[in-house]
Chain A
């Protein structure tokens, strides 16, 4: 069966520090992968998606970037965090019959 792993679960980082969140998928090959952010009162906002290794599309301009170095690995990064980057970050992969399967999320607090 397919599973999705996301870590860390919580993270507190100072403003200006770098960020790296990792997501890996098991049990599937060539998945479509996504990074979402849930900010207070904003619902789920799509940040990046990837349809294959090295293929990244950005949905909104921001302080973040994404990379897909391997088929089942998706990384969300920032060189310098802003206060506004705080939120709940979710990785997901696409199962066409059921939409997305989400990871357990990372609560990022930038202080």
Chain B
């Protein structure tokens, strides 16, 4: 049972345009959500997070939106740059324990 779902395995976007990566979750106990970025042969790095008490968090070119009623979150990258090409993992945390549940990732390609 996959509690965090990233249904798009890949996404291609032109440089300068918006990239939108989507994530759905099923566990209503999740109260903290994170996005990680991963380059090949490297460990994932933290990108941005959002608490369940918020519906938006912004950090530079990156914005995460949370729709709790739909159990859906999305990551917006504006404008997209070639260096953003990577695999993006959505993750969710119940907070009570220390374990974070990851989606399977979406591979973003930003075309120059």
Contacts and interface: CB of A to CB of B under 8 A. Distances in A.
Given A42-B104, A90-B43, A104-B42, A49 B34 contact: no
B38 to A, nearest CB: 8
Interface string B89-102: 10101000011111
Q: Is the interface of A mostly helix, strand, loop or mixed?
A: strand
A103 B41 CA distance: 11
A94 B104 CA distance: 20
Interface stretch (B13-21, B44-52, B64-72): B44-52
Nearest to A33: B98
Interface residues of A, number: 25
Contacts of B101: 46
Contact of B43 (A32, A41, A99, A105): A105
Given A32-B98, A42-B104, A98 B34 contact: yes
Contacts, number: 55
A102 interface: yes
A109 to B, nearest CB: 12
B104 A99 contact: no
Interface string A24-67: 00000000101010000111101001010000000000000000
A105 B34 CA distance: 20
Given A32-B98, A102-B44, A102-B45, A43 B34 contact: no
Contacts of B100: 99-100
A101 interface: yes
B91 A104 contact: no
B42 A51 contact: no
Contacts of A43: 6, 89, 102-105
10 contacts: A36-B102, A42-B104, A43-B6, A44-B89, A46-B101, A90-B43, A98-B46, A99-B46, A99-B100, A100-B46
